[in-house]
Amino acid sequence: MKNIFILFFFFSISAFGQSHLRSEIDQKANEIESKVIEWRRDFHKYPELGNQEVRTAKIVADHLRSLGMEVTENVAVTGVVGVLKGGKPGPMVALRADMDALPVTERNDLPFKSVNTATYNGQETGVMHACGHDSHVAILMGVAEVMAGMKDELKGSVKFIFQPAEEGVFDADIFGAELMVKEGVMEDVDAIFGLHIWSQIEAGKIGYRSGPFMAAVDNLNVTISGTQAHGATPWSSVDPIVTASQAVMGLQTILSRNVNITENPAVVTIGAIHGGIRHNIIPEEVKMIGTIRTFGDEQQVLVHRRITEVITHIAESAGAKADVQIEKLYPSTVNPPELTQKITPSMIAAAGEENVIAMPPTTGAEDFSFFQREKPGFFIFLGGMKKGGDPLTTPSHHTPDFFIDESGFILGVRALSYFAVDYMEGLD
Ligand SMILES: [Zn+2]
Ligand SMILES: [Zn+2]
């Protein structure tokens, strides 16, 4: 008797309820699969850059309205939010898809290959859904239709968040998820779920991680100022090129000597160094830019502090001056362990236990983290690689050959729907 009680207690804290709607979701998801693929191909052919997702947003808004939802457009510039009110009282669960494409010229030979071009950073470029956000929009439109078909039975409401500008916007200070949060989109939300199609995971599988999943990303901007001189008389200079070289090497010790790598990884990369104009002139100034990836606030504070100290003190020791600016972009995408534990059975039910992969942290970043900072949020990777593919040779996200196997979409529709209805069931 005692054992039975313990077993019951264990389940009562480890999972949300299993909604009786799961089988109805499966059936409706099967019926809608070909429509989801069709939507995705249309978005793929006509991709739009961040904050310019006008065509995409209109298709989304029209679709949500046709399902009887209350729809708000132009949220955070081009975002769309639809609310599906369930027939029974309960929590507000948010589901999120990002809509923007990238300045990449597609090389895939597809009947629905991108036809769009744009000017980005002063350059003419192709535009491509090279991160797969076309699939996110189509999948969430599918979820909206599935859930609208059972709205009388829902114990709560679902907020469908179609977000612009996840990849950032060249000339804006704030964009995408952060702006949506600022505009209050999360205020009446109890929990949020989202996914990213992943070209290195086989279609039909889900990747996830409890705790820090994706990195915080910050930009590093450094200017080292010295004293200009003839290249033949370096003793009369304070050489910013030699100082910058020492600083780059000094930065390598932050990860090897300051960060506890048994807890979380971190990355400091210098992506560009600019200084000088001629063989025999030591310049006055060198500029460096780079990217910083960390997992968790404490680690981020440590890495930022050490970057500033290392560069500033190396410059001082050379008699130069360093200006170090760190621009925070996205916080780390962290799946709260408690929510992760409770939603894991829903994920397993959707994908099958053998198709759920516990992943290492990913040093890429996602602005879904801004939603997670407001309310508990859970984020997964949805397999988009063709079955039997090699993740090492499969083209990665943001490349002209990026390709998605559409057979995994139906799992995305089912997983997000399961998360919403199981969360609404609450605790057993
Ligand atoms: Zn991306
Ligand atoms: Zn992306």
Report the number of distinct structural domains present in the chain: 2
Domain-located, residue 354: yes
Give the β-pairing of 377-385 and 79-85. unpaired
Residue 398 is assigned to a ligand binding site:
yes
- Residues 345, 244 within the same domain: no
| Calpha distance 266→252 (Å, rounded) | 11
Residue 313 is assigned to a ligand binding site:
no
- Residues 163, 283 within the same domain: no
Beta-carbon-side half-sphere exposure of residue 285 (alpha carbons within 13 Å): 4
Q: Which of 145, 166, 178, 330 is catalytic?
A: 330
- Residues 172, 314 within the same domain: no
86 C-alpha to ligand 2 centroid (Å): 30
Q: Which of 202, 285, 406, 425 is catalytic?
A: 406
| Calpha distance 297→218 (Å, rounded) | 12
Residue 167 is assigned to a ligand binding site:
yes
Domain-located, residue 176: yes
Strand blocks (E) in 173-331: 191-202, 206-208, 211-214, 216-225, 229-230, 267-275, 281-282, 285-294, 321-330
Closest-approaching ligand to the CA atom of 382: 2
* Entry pTM: 0.92
Closest-approaching ligand to the CA atom of 398: 1
Is position 423 annotated as part of the catalytic site? no
Query: Residue 14: what pLDDT?
Result: 66
- Residues 94, 148 within the same domain: yes
- Smallest CA-to-CA distance from 64 within 129, 132, 136, 140 is with 140
34 C-alpha to ligand 2 centroid (Å): 23
| Calpha distance 360→79 (Å, rounded) | 31
Domain-located, residue 225: yes
Domain-located, residue 397: yes
Structure tokens belonging to residue 232: 């033949």
363 C-alpha to ligand 1 centroid (Å): 12
- Residues 307, 340 within the same domain: no
Domain-located, residue 8: no
- Residues 34, 98 within the same domain: yes
Contact yes or no for 99/133 (Cβ under 8 A): yes
Full 3-state SS string of 307-345: HHHHHHHHHHHHCCEEEEEEEEEECCEEECHHHHHHHHH
133 C-alpha to ligand 1 centroid (Å): 8
Query: Residue 10: what pLDDT?
Result: 46
pLDDT along the chain (428 residues), means of 10: 45 70 97 98 98 98 98 98 97 98 97 97 96 98 98 97 96 92 98 98 98 98 98 98 98 97 95 97 98 96 98 98 97 97 97 97 97 98 97 96 98 98 82
Domain-located, residue 305: yes
Is position 330 annotated as part of the catalytic site? yes
Query: Residue 17: what pLDDT?
Result: 77
Query: Residue 247: what pLDDT?
Result: 98
Task: Return the CATH number at 345.
Answer: 3.40.630.10
- Residues 130, 191 within the same domain: yes
- Residues 338, 325 within the same domain: no
- Residues 173, 41 within the same domain: yes
Task: Return the CATH number at 284.
Answer: 3.30.70.360
Domain boundary among 277, 310, 330: 330
255 C-alpha to ligand 2 centroid (Å): 27
Domain boundary among 266, 298, 330: 330
Closest-approaching ligand to the CA atom of 103: 1
- Residues 235, 196 within the same domain: no
| Calpha distance 418→89 (Å, rounded) | 18
| Calpha distance 398→131 (Å, rounded) | 6
Give the domain range for residue 281: 216-330
Domain-located, residue 28: yes
DSSP 3-state of 402:
coil
Domain boundary among 284, 306, 330: 330
Domain-located, residue 1: no
